Structure 1
Amino acid sequence: MIRLSAALLALCFGLSSTASAESNLGAAVQNPISSLVSVPFKFTFDNGAPNGKANSMAIQPVIPVTVGNWNLVSRFIIPLYDAPGGIAGLPGNPGIGNPSTPGRVTGLGDINYTLFFSPVKPVNGWIWGIGPSITADSATDDRLGSGKWSAGVSAVALNQPGWGTWGALVRHLWSFAGDSSRKDVNQTLFEPFINYNLDNGWYLISDMVITYDWKASSGDGLLLPVGGGVGKITRWGNQPVNLRAEAYYNVERPASAPKWQVGFTVQLLFPKG
Structure 2
Amino acid sequence: MKRFFRLLIFPAVLLFSNFSYSQEETATPASEADALAKQLQNPVASLISVPFQGNMDFGFDPEDGTRFTLNIQPVIPIGISEDWNLIARVVLPFISQHDVYGNSGTQTGLSDAVVSAFFSPKAPTAGGLIWGAGPVLLVPTATDDLLGTKKFGIGPTAVALKQLGSFTVGGLINHVWSVAGDSDRSDVSSTFIQPFIARNFAGGYALALNTEFTQNWEADASSGAINIVGSKVITIGSQMAQLLLGPRILYGGGTTGDWGIRGGLVLLFPK
On whether the aligned pair clears a TM of 0.5, the verdict is yes
What's 1:8 paired with? 14
Which structure 1 residue ranges, 5 or more long, are not aligned?
87-96
What's 2:3 paired with? none
What letter is aligned with 1:11? Answer: S
The one of 82, 106, 109 equivalent to 1:107 is 109
TM-score by length of 2: 0.89
Q: Output the CA distance in 1 between the equivalents of 2:160 and 2:187.
A: 29
Aligned length, in residue pairs:
256
Structure 1 runs of 4+ off > 4 angstroms?
Answer: none
What's 2:183 paired with? 180
The one of 111, 118, 121 equivalent to 1:119 is 121
Q: Output the CA distance in 2 between the equivalents of 1:269 and 1:136.
A: 26
Q: Does 1:59 align with 2:68?
A: no
Aligned to 1:222, the other structure's residue is in SS state: strand
Aligned to 1:146, the other structure's residue is in SS state: coil
What's 2:94 paired with? 80
Which structure 2 residue ranges, 5 or more long, are not aligned?
1-5
Aligned to 2:33, the other structure's residue is in SS state: helix
Report the alpha carbon displacement of residue 223 of structure 1 after superposing the two structures with TM. Answer: 1.1
What's 2:269 paired with? 270
The structure-2 alpha-carbon separation of the partners of 1:12 and 1:208, relative to structure 1 and needing over 3 Å to count, comes to farther
Q: Output the CA distance in 1 between the equivalents of 2:178 and 2:102.
A: 22
* Map 1:78-157 → 2, pairs under 5 A: 78-84=92-98, 97=101, 102-123=104-125, 124-157=127-160
Question: What are the superposed Cα offsets for residues 197-248 of structure 1, whole Å, 9 maximum, x if unpaired?
Answer: 122111111132111111114xxx1113224121111111221111111212
Question: Contact 1:21 / 1:240 at 8 angstroms: preserved in 2?
Answer: no
Q: Which has the higher strand share?
A: 2
Aligned to 1:53, the other structure's residue is in SS state: strand
The structure-2 alpha-carbon separation of the partners of 1:24 and 1:198, relative to structure 1 and needing over 3 Å to count, comes to closer
TM-score by length of 1: 0.89
Report the alpha carbon displacement of residue 98 of structure 1 after superposing the two structures with TM. Answer: 5.5
Report the alpha carbon displacement of residue 261 of structure 1 after superposing the two structures with TM. Answer: 1.6
Question: Contact 1:131 / 1:155 at 8 angstroms: preserved in 2?
Answer: yes
How large is the Cα RMSD of the aligned pairs? Answer: 1.6
The one of 184, 195, 198 equivalent to 1:195 is 198
Q: Does 1:21 align with 2:27?
A: no
